Structure 1
Amino acid sequence: MFPRRILCAICFSCTLTLLTGCWDRVEINQRGFVVGVAIDKPEGESKSTYKGTYQMVVPGGLKLSSANSSSTNNNPHAGQAYFNISTTEHSMPSIAARISSRTSRSPYFEHLRMIIISGDAAKHEASLPDILDYYLRNSEMRRSVQILIADGKASDILGIFPNNESTPVDYISSIAKNNQKTNYMLSESRIGDVHEFLIKHESFVIQTIKKEDGGVTLNGSAIIDGKTKQLLGFLNGEETQGLNFITKRIKGGIVESKVDGQIVGLKVERSNRKIYVQQTSPEHVNFTIKIIVEGTLDKSITNIDPSEGKIVDALEKSLEDTISSTTHKVIKKLQQTYKKDALGLGAYLFQNHNKMWKPLAANWEACANLFSQAGIDVQVEVIVRRVGNIFESTKE
């Protein structure tokens, strides 16, 4: 009988521990949902000081319908779906704590969608991991949060008017997904991928954002040094296009060239890349990068019949020269200006030619900087699959 009582007491105690599962529950109407974070470096402040801007959604504002949107004309803040709040502190946890003391709902990051870091904040040594560490460790965070480097003030980006969207974060996120329409910007840079690059000490690129004409543009990319973990500089849209071809990031977009003084456009449908490597000496390697691009003629040409074989050959040759020139521009800039392997050639050697890579690894981007001395040749093949049905867009 006595053992039964002990057994019942043990079962009862275990049941009590299960009933404490909601001890830290917070009601949804008491949470401050942060959807966007902007990090700037205040002028005149020390290197360890950051200005953090949180974009927090207003659930009631998200319900605003088009039927009563006209009533907000007299009061632009009425029914607004979000608000921005800023403060300056020495660390990311301190920023979150300070903002908690200034808003009725403490910041909650489970729905955070993007972190925008200004170029000034990212240019100092180890600044990027210093900023991202708090968000990587936060149990509320997701590895899919988008990371952007702002060419200018990051807080200005969160203050733009969100055309056709409820919040600026929704607006920016929609633009970032348009890499199937343009190859002048990178695919989305996620915090999980950035974390892996930082751990591996590999140089890499992050999607760039810039305020322009009341909106934003995401053309171009930012180069991050894998050793010092800081921003080195930016690539423009054309250079980013060349980088995308080399790194197999092309999802679509248009490539333009000239034939007989006229602009032709190729709508890219498929793009593939193969790398071949040859070691000519213990400290020198040559890379041959073969790029195959397939697409459709996306612009009619006056007085030229693109269905003729010779014309198609001329179109393909012109487009090949354009892509080759673009890729060699970005290779030259990375090898001579930045001396950083954002092309991922070192990672390719590590994965596919590890025995060759081991003696080169220590000096690939440091000391002798073998990356800048490597031979890199790009060979491009363009295949025009379709030329369309309209040969002339004008008629006498």
Structure 2
Amino acid sequence: MFPKRILCAICLGCICILTGCWDRVEINQRGFVVGVAIDKPEDGTKNVYKGTYQMIVPGGLKLNGANSPGSNNNPHAGQAYFNMTTSENSMPSIAARIAGKTSRSPYFEHLRMIIISGDSVKNKANLPDILDFFLRNSEMRRSVQILIADGKGSDILNIFPNNESTPIDYISSIAKNTQKTNFMLSESRIGDVHEYLIKHESFVLQTIKKEDGGVTLSGCALFDGKTKQFIGFLNGEETQGLNFITKRIKGGIVESKIDNQIVGLKVERSNRKIYVRQTSPEQVNFTIKIIVEGTLDKSIANLDPSEGKLVESLEKSFEDTIVSTTRQVIKKLQQTYKKDALGLGTYLFQNDNKMWKPLADNWESGAKLFTQAGIDVQVEVIVRRVGNIFESTKE
């Protein structure tokens, strides 16, 4: 038998250790934040950021009332969400200010998307400063999607969510359509962006823009690897070329012309190989070979696409189109932005570190050797199936 003193000490110790859910917050007291938009304030204040939180109304979700108007007494009645906006100098201050304006404190465990306007990350270290709060937050998930807005992020959170309960659901559904279009990047997640911030390589993030009452995710946003500053946007066609070079193609359509008719190739598979040759201590030449397989996805009037020579002509036409789009983005990155978002420096670092070490310090800065690199793109297109209905003049 234990002495009473020892038994009492054990009991008291257990009481101190087994405190239960001391920090529990009831679910009906939480304000579930599903989307955040960060903008640059335009009201003349000295605040650095304007933050907009999109918060869920659980009752509105049950009623599926995203399109239902609120009552005069409660404008949020029947709605699945509402937005709250404030301006402050930091992300923690924005969260604190929002908490002082709502009966339910912001809760980020269900956060799905952060939309950051390009204007708010043009200064050095703005992007790391914004994301630091979310990366440190214990409620945060590494799968949160990051989007760079061409325009105001808050405007995007106020769009009408076609066929969905909230704008975040609507945008998230669009972002997953990379198998249908190659004019946009695959989803940029906060875990991936964190890795970009640690490295010193230029990178691109998925872009969103308000358009015709909805949004479009065509194109991408370019960031400097050293300063982490937003530099500019690449359009949809340039992003398509970038996707082919960086092996991000998951599907989509490539259009070309033959006999003054538009023809489309539905991409099923795409692969890329890089070959490097160093001609001098500061000159590196890259040969990028891209192989694309797909199905003809558009009918051709008065032509029989099953004929061998026509198939060869179609393949050559698609090859020329892909070469043109890849050269377009290469020229933009080498001559206009002077940033290696193609990942060629990373390829050298991983595959030929001995060649890379003398080049590293002057690749994007200093002598800017990336801008002087020779980059040749060679494309092979294989049309596996005709897969369409066509008209023919043959009897």
Superposed, 1:307-346 pairs within 5 Å as 307-346=306-345
CA–CA distance in structure 2, aligned partners of residues 113 and 22 of structure 1 = 26
Segments of 4+ in structure 1 off by > 4 A?
3-7, 44-48, 69-77, 393-396
Q: Aligned with 1:63: secondary structure?
A: helix
Scaled by the length of structure 1, what TM-score is found? Answer: 0.95
1:260 aligned to 2:256?
no
Deviations 1:361-389 (A, max 9, x none): 11111010111111111100000000025
- Relative to structure 2, which stretch is displaced further, 129-138 or 72-81? 72-81
Name the counterpart of 1:93.
92
Shift of 1:227: 1.0
- Equivalent residue for 1:63? 62
In 1, Cα distance between equivalents of 2:46 and 2:245: 36
Partner deviation per Cα, 1:72-114 (whole Å, 9 max, x = no partner):
4887743100000000100000000000000000101011001
Q: Per-residue deviation at 1:356?
A: 1.1
Query: What is the alpha-carbon distance in structure 1 between the residues aligned to residue 89 and residue 273 of structure 2?
Result: 46
Match of 1:284 in 2: 283
Please tell me whether the aligned partners of residues 151 and 210 of structure 1 are also in contact (alpha carbons under 8 angstroms): yes
1:46, distance to aligned residue in structure 2 (A): 6.7
Q: CA offsets per residue over residues 201-245 of structure 1, 9 Å max, x none?
A: 211001000000000000000001111111100000000000000
Contact 1:52 1:87 in 2 (8 A): yes
| Cα shift at 1:8 | 3.2
Secondary structure of 2:55 counterpart: strand
The alpha-carbon deviation at position 395 of structure 1 amounts to 11
Is the CA contact 2:159–2:213 (under 8 Å) kept in the aligned structure 1?
yes
- C-alpha change, 1:92 and 1:310, in structure 2 (3 Å) is same
Return 5+ residue gaps in structure 1 as ranges.
none
Distance 1:394 1:196, change over 3 A: farther
The aligned residue for residue 81 of structure 2 is 82
Superposed, 1:182-197 pairs within 5 Å as 182-197=181-196
Residues 209, 217 of structure 1: 8 Å contact kept? yes
Counterpart CA distance in 2 for 1:70 and 1:167 is 10
Retained in 2: the 8 A contact 1:300–1:393? no
Two-structure CA RMSD over aligned residues (Å): 2.1
Number of the residue aligned with 1:204: 203
Contact 1:360 1:370 in 2 (8 A): yes
Identity of aligned residues (%): 81
- 8 Å CA contact 1:117–1:149 kept in 2: the answer is yes
Give the deviation of 1:5 after TM superposition: 4.5
Summarize deviations over 1:125-156 as a string: whole Å, max 9, x none: 11111111111111111111100010001100
Q: How far apart, in 2, do the equivalents of 1:367 and 1:61 lie?
A: 56
What do the CA deviations read for 1:327-383 (whole angstroms, capped 9, x no partner)?
000000000000001111111111111111111111111010111111111100000
Structure 1 Cα separation of the partners of residues 68 and 143 of structure 2: 37
Q: Secondary structure at the match of 2:247?
A: coil
- Decide whether aligned partners of structure 1 residues 119 and 301 sit closer, same or farther in structure 2, where only a CA change above 3 A counts: same
State the one-letter code of the partner of 1:38: A
Give the structure 1 partner of residue 248 of structure 2: 249
Question: CA 1:183–1:164 in 2, change beyond 3 Å: closer, same or farther?
Answer: same
What residue ranges of structure 2 are gaps of 5+ in the alignment?
none
Name the structure 1 match of 2:50: 51
**What residue number does 1:162 align with?**
161
Displacement of 1:280? 1.2
